[in-house]
Amino acid sequence: MTFAASLAAALAGLGLGLSIIVAIGAQNAFVLRQGLRREHIVAIVAICVLSDVALIGLGIAGTGWVLSAVPWLMTAVRIAGAAFLATYAALAARRALRVDAARLEVAADGSASRSRTLLTAIATALAVTWLNPHVYLDIALIGSIANGHGDARWLFGAGVVAGSALWFTTLGLGARALAPLFARPLAWRILDGAIALVMLTLAVLVALPLVSG
């Protein structure tokens, strides 16, 4: 395998990784919010990237085929994912509607005055990653494309991981640049309202095949 072929596979993986990851969803919304609050962001970014490493590796190793061969696994993931997303939407909506709670989000210096524990943040990061049914559809796609690269499939996977690391690091740490805007409670209410709408929409889309199918 030539260097050019290896580089092409890695760059193709990077492009696919960014195209899949850079989208509005539960995971990105959570990372953005944690970045704005300046809470445990390094741990959150690490969880997201390491989860993607595991998922991408499983996808290339053939987990996508397993999910296709055992349909009830996908159904179980859809039920759990829809329930989690709906709950997340309800909590975000409550934050958006409660003025006093919104004001407590931001201290005078722009940092969060009420912080969630590290374990809670990690648990939420794991949930928005592993309970998202779309993730398993993505890894099936990544696995099929990666295996089309033959011996370079793991270089392709490395490219996808690089895209994930680049995106989550930029999103999590770059959110600090927006801190002055979110020094006002109204900005937090608008953000939480938008997150609630996104999460509710995702919950409906995830659950829809269970009803229509």
- What per-residue confidence (pLDDT) applies to 77? 73
Residue 74's closest CA among 65, 84, 87? Answer: 65
Q: Is the pTM of this model over 0.85?
A: no
- What per-residue confidence (pLDDT) applies to 127? 92
Q: Tell whether the torsion through CA atoms of 67, 68, 71 and 77 is positive or negative.
A: positive
Note the pLDDT tens digit of each residue in 2-49: 888 888 889 998 988 887 787 667 898 899 889 988 889 999 999 999
- What per-residue confidence (pLDDT) applies to 199? 78
* CA pair distance 130, 1, nearest whole angstrom: 34
* CA pair distance 22, 208, nearest whole angstrom: 23
pLDDT lower than 50: segments of the chain: 101-114
- What per-residue confidence (pLDDT) applies to 42? 94
Collect all residues with Cβ–Cβ distance below 8 Å to 140 and sequence separation of at least 6. Answer: 59, 63, 64, 65, 67, 68
DSSP letter string, 20-46: HHSS-SHHHHHHHHHHHHTSSHHHHHH
**Token pair of 127, please?**
């949930």
- What per-residue confidence (pLDDT) applies to 101? 46
**Token pair of 43, please?**
């741990």
- What per-residue confidence (pLDDT) applies to 115? 55
- What per-residue confidence (pLDDT) applies to 165? 95
